[in-house]
Structure 1
């Protein structure tokens, strides 16, 4: 399975990355050694960039699980790159390296992503002096440390786009076979090397020493044909699993299951998302095997313990029964031992017992040995040999064995139950498979829905479904008026400086008074009136043709401002807002607007008004309430984006 990009992959990927040039850098996260860069581009849709040192770089539309606390290196990148403009992306000399240039005010920064080996990410100043590498490293001819000038690693292969017959012969000299020579010395990977062989109609196992002049010409033609191929990004599937991602169609892959994409970055994004899922599955499978082996080992120990207890039950019962059967002989022997011991030491006692046994006395004949230091005497009875405490009677000794028997029998029952439970656990693991196993790893990214154009702005839908949009800042305010306002629409503005430009999209339908009132409330709650804690505000509406950038003679209109010609239609609206979840494009989207509109589109409603609770705290409270009503996570950042400016409070 392909797990990293080749130099040719990077070439096609970087070519597409030019679309984010001019973007402004937002937050930067580190997720298990992978870096996520959020960009605000000139276009309407935000772009996120993934850089995984040593492995990949591409745009992503996936929703990644970001850490609450950024890593130290992510914080360093934020410090130097946030709010800077991305001005250049290039791949130096077709190496597996991508260089990104950023500009902020008068200073510039260079970020270098090394996608070979174990990889690295190096932040440099505009003169290529290293500010900080992700990992400090030292080689024979190269060092990555703060304060040193960044130098590229020695070329390990030839630039595939610059190769000719002479240097192709040189790089293949001494190689065992053609395909490995191409893959290693052109840094293109085995799949692409095989495709070159396919296009040249030369066996990939060919010894380079046996290549003819015409063979080399065929190889060069194959390389040229490959590089100039029409892009056709695709993921190759084998047995239902993704095995490779390619920038165009390969002859060697014909007949295989393929999934095509509009561009290579989309293909890379999907491929690495799928392989991340597979990586988690592999970890789960390994964890499952380990778990099953552990349970099997436990069962084996339990079965051994059960056998030990079975033996003990049998043994202690036999000893107790034997003692009870021969209690008279045992008590008589113990009594004789006690009498002898009163006048003699133990050595003399043992001698007398031996003499008595030799003379045929029964009480002495059943005594096998004596351990006076332990107070133990061993009796060799017909059924079994048994050790007894010579200080106790036969009844007391038998009772002790009976107690051991009952205890062992009880333990045996407990172990049997444990074995049964272990067998059930083993069966459950086999049936559930990896579904029942969790591994401590960051979950793979999830596919996110394609956001609609109007989600760039503040928006809601009126009770009858009309779209109302408003600006978030000076730039989007200008876009609202100059890009999205059409003749059939209506324009609204709170009678306050700095309020957002608001537009009701007419959609060739009559705009009713109720829609105008809802839009007026929307314009008011997102104005300074909310931040000031007002209970109500004045809002006016006009036709689009009344909104103009042309100032009267002798007057000046600031950038982003407009003049209103003719009569304005005023109304006073209360400042209360509703929050709910709108079903839009098969997704539940948090939405904030007039209470009547939210009630019309959401199954539940949370009401707010200007108050004293910080916006961030208010968002947390709303998140808890929403998640208490729906079985899904609510993004706190999305809530922060839709809430009115300033403090507020919940209306119970």
Structure 2
């Protein structure tokens, strides 16, 4: 049996019921691992420490975890985690909700200064969106821009289109939904009623009906039996009456060593016992709560080994390359399946559009008949009856009509084995255009899936390369290899050592000039205040843009522990500091390609405003003569440095390109900050043979730290 790797809608409903009992818990800290695993550390006054894990890609899961089994905190929190901490530290868990019967869970937090909601999307590619009190997206792991919905910073969060919600359905609505299908019972439950394959089969088993029975042969008796089975189950969900199980099966081809117990692997976790699993003779282990069962299941799914050899995960110190490879191969298989479905769907939509033109007169006759009837105040029921009479009389156009939907205002025609839903008011041409547009949208999704599968194939190749390196006998580098020279071609190296030495200045914006002077800038008003009060010495230089909304920029003449002395700072370094001040200011946000900046000595900067004036937080009064830098280009470079430290750096192009093994230039453009960061990250991955090095030192989050706020685009070089 294939192992469960994602929560079902029923799982989500049960999980939410349990998690809501922890309302009032306070959030201590938030973490992000591997770009898709969010950990929320909370304190419940009755239970104590709680660890909520949410993973949205593979596997897709949310549950409380054993505090002893949570991963160690990352050494350096990415921007997304820092944003969560800023918004959520000390906040109270207010509620946990499931969106309708979808695999979407919202976790709501309240704090005196702001309320925040985390939306975990456990479908498709998976995503996490952070919303403010007005449901505006503050940030998200991925930006989604579709015709039907948008998830992007600054936009109002859009849930997917509503689907049938069995949690709230009635017996009659359930039966009507079943009757409208044209397939068998289990597929109708899985797709039309949104139960999915597993629970579709389970309801059939509980109701005692034949799951492959065609809808045309089913009657109200079967529908009532299925509804009763569901009604009992949803009653248990709403009341929190769970009896959770983790199901395991014997590992195929496992060696039979007499009295030794045959190794088993987990295959499913459910909030209640499953008749289907019992019939399949799966071993069941009971748990006190569904959260406990989920935690145990996904821990074993991630960590258990099925033994040594080809199926095993390797020794204690050896990375589990086989599991990683299997995971990537499984993702590729799923992505290939999705691409095939996109191709088929796009082709179907195009065929439907072409059929409208091929049967233009017939389609036009049907649509005109509906429009005229509606203009004459005929009801939809009367229109449907009129088409039925026409079909009995052998009228070709009426015979083509297979459905009239008054609620949606549509009519469905059957043309050459294709059912085409049409909007009568739109006419033939506009209906065809709508279908062509849908085909184009699906084709664009296919293109996105092709790009995603290439990324996964690269990840797979990287794991296989690391496995080969691990297996090589001569892993230790020779003395010649250990003595790297400036001629080393780092881009072609299969393995690059990481040299880490984080500086005190790295929490600010920063770069080193061509003459090796450190320049630091504030990211916000608090950092602006801190730079001037704590880090600006008498021998330093202060820079700021003429435009409002720029960071405080300080060119350091000495280090923080060195005595301030008179230092001759070259004009080149001053010009680069001015360019840095302009690039990370509102000049870039406004899409301008040049701006002005000025330079003054530290003693000209004061927090004391002029008489009758007021200084905002992070603002300063500057008095005396200024040195101006006019028409400074708003262009930055972001690159990867290997020696003497391995890190991402960014700033004015000239000094950055001198110090990095490869870099990308940016100028004001149309891509949001997080989007351009991902584009740059992918560009770096294409340039380096050792992609694991890029992933560790130049993730999209770290690249984003050096991307100016506002829209950007990459410059062709």
Instruction: Name the TM-score, length of structure 2 as normaliser.
Output: 0.39
| TM-score, structure 1 as length reference | 0.42
Q: Larger Rg: 1 or 2?
A: 1
